[in-house]
Amino acid sequence: MRTMDKEVPMDNTMTGSRVWGTCKWLLAMVGVFGAYMLIQVMTIGLGSVVVGVAAALSTGDYESFVESPAFSDMVLGLSVVAQLAIIAVFLPMWRRMRPGSFIARRDQAAPEGVSVVKSLAILLLVGVSAQFFVGGLLGIVELLFPEAMAEYSEFMEDTSVGVFAIVSALSIAVLAPINEEIACRGVMFECAMRAMSPDWNATDGARYRAVSARAFWIANTLQALAFGALHMNLIQGSYAFALGVLEGWVFWRTGKLRYAMLLHFALNASSYLVAPLAPMVNALPAPIVFAAFGGLIAGGIAMFERAWHVSDALPEVAVAEDDEEDGAPADDDAILGDVLPTDDAAARASADSTGPGKGGSPL
């Protein structure tokens, strides 16, 4: 038997390879970020220009068309197309990366018997609470930086009108969590993890590589920074970064992307509750509001951590006697069989713990 957490001796000949491995995967992460932005620009930006020019040629009044509800509906429709295109590009990429990924080991090491209903309830509680907590913070920002808040409000102005209200809800509450989690918590996070753990290689994947808490938190911070930058707005990007860190931790803790998607869904969908409940919430003193929702967030995270606590111990991997001397797995296919994606693309391997990671608008 051989433990999966084996030390690899370092020498000068390995330094260059490790540096190259880090740089290579950081560049890959930047490339994924650029591809995401390019899809949005090509679909929404160029699409809007083409349709606007066509309307100007037919009506002779470009400015009136751009300011009309029809233009807003068109932009919303193009946004949905862009989201579907992002899913079409990055979902196959993630499914290909996942079998040899670090998160595949986390999935295998996740504790058994965790209540799915309890986990969902906690994430819904945290997501809704975070929405109102961020909403309170935005109120403070408006008092301190009115000009910045005015730009933010204009940027976030609701574009859903008429029958497109349903499309808007679909885009914000459903498609955004799916495409952003796949791209950020899936592909970009894995690229960052490989950059921080340059011992990773295409043959072994992450199966024999222990991950330090430091490597995880650096990688998690990098993907959260990218997530914030994707929103192209300083105010929204700031709280998107903080929530991206939390969603990355949920993903790492559970080994399952769907839990991060659910938290994202709870946050985005609850943005529709802010306006109806604002009079009741605003009637309370601000310290009470922040303490209440902040406490719910902290309590929810603590409960989730206890439910999904992962032991630091790594299971052993059986090795055939013929291969014990050279340390190679006897039957690579047998081990790979544990990491091939299932119906929900879950790959099976082992992991160590990195330790606990202790709004006013959709993301």
Q: Which of 22-31, 99-108, 165-174: highest mean pLDDT? A: 22-31
State the pLDDT at residue 9. Answer: 53
In a domain, 350, yes or no: no
In a domain, 208, yes or no: yes
State the pLDDT at residue 257. Answer: 96
Backbone angles phi, psi at 254, to 5 degrees: -95, -25
Residue 360 has pLDDT above 70, yes or no: no
Task: Give per-residue pLDDT as tens, 72-93.
Answer: 788 888 999 999 999 999 999 9
Task: Give per-residue pLDDT as tens, 24-58.
Answer: 999 999 999 999 999 999 998 888 888 777 777 77
In the structure encoding, which two tokens stand for residue 316, read together?
Answer: 């052993």
In a domain, 102, yes or no: yes
Which pLDDT band holds residue 12 (cuts at 50, 70, 90)?
A: low
Q: What is the mean pLDDT of the chain?
A: 79
Express as a percent the part of the chain with pLDDT over 70. 75
In a domain, 341, yes or no: no
Which class for 48: exposed (0-12), middle (13-18), buried (19 or more C-beta within 10 A)?
A: middle
In a domain, 290, yes or no: yes
State the pLDDT at residue 209. Answer: 56
Once rounded to an integer, what is the mean pLDDT over residues 118-139? 94
User: Domain residues for 92?
Assistant: 15-336
**Global confidence as pTM:** 0.78
In a domain, 332, yes or no: yes
In a domain, 318, yes or no: yes
Q: Which of 131-145, 244-258, 326-340: highest mean pLDDT? A: 244-258
State the pLDDT at residue 93. Answer: 97
The structural domain count of the chain equals: 1
Q: Which of 51-55, 69-73, 153-157, 275-279: highest mean pLDDT? A: 275-279
In the structure encoding, which two tokens stand for residue 297, read together?
Answer: 């967030």
Helix extents (H) in the chain: 12-40, 46-59, 62-66, 69-97, 102-109, 116-144, 146-155, 164-169, 176-180, 189-196, 213-229, 234-254, 257-269, 271-282, 286-307, 332-336
In a domain, 44, yes or no: yes
- Which of the residue ranges 63-67, 94-98, 224-228, 317-321 would you say has the lowest mean pLDDT? 317-321
Task: Give per-residue pLDDT as tens, 323-353.
Answer: 333 433 333 333 233 333 333 444 333 333 3
